[in-house]
Amino acid sequence: MNDVRPPVYAGHDSVIVRMPIGRRLVRAIITREALETRFAAGHSQQDWVEAYHAHAQAIEAVVQDKLAKACPEPILISKYDF
């Protein structure tokens, strides 16, 4: 079985993902604070990645909304976006 999820990278204080939106790949940065506060992620980078995967649909919806409002890339997702 092939995993079709986009690659996810854990940075120092965020998760970075390039997700397919329409015909393009959009880079999104989800802050550690958003993952820990909104999705109850733990404090490790692996916890942030797991929280992203568990809530990817909700996060992608926020990215799509920001793109519709013409936000520049990369799309920054903070705890205030939910």
Kindly report the pTM of this predicted structure: 0.88
Domain ranges of the chain: 8-81
Element (H, E) at 14: strand 14-21
Residue written as token pair 């965020």: 14
Predicted local confidence at residue 49, as pLDDT: 96
Encode pLDDT of 4-61 as tens digits.
667 899 999 999 999 988 898 999 999 999 999 999 999 999 999 999 999 999 999 9
Question: pLDDT at residue 3 above 80?
Answer: no
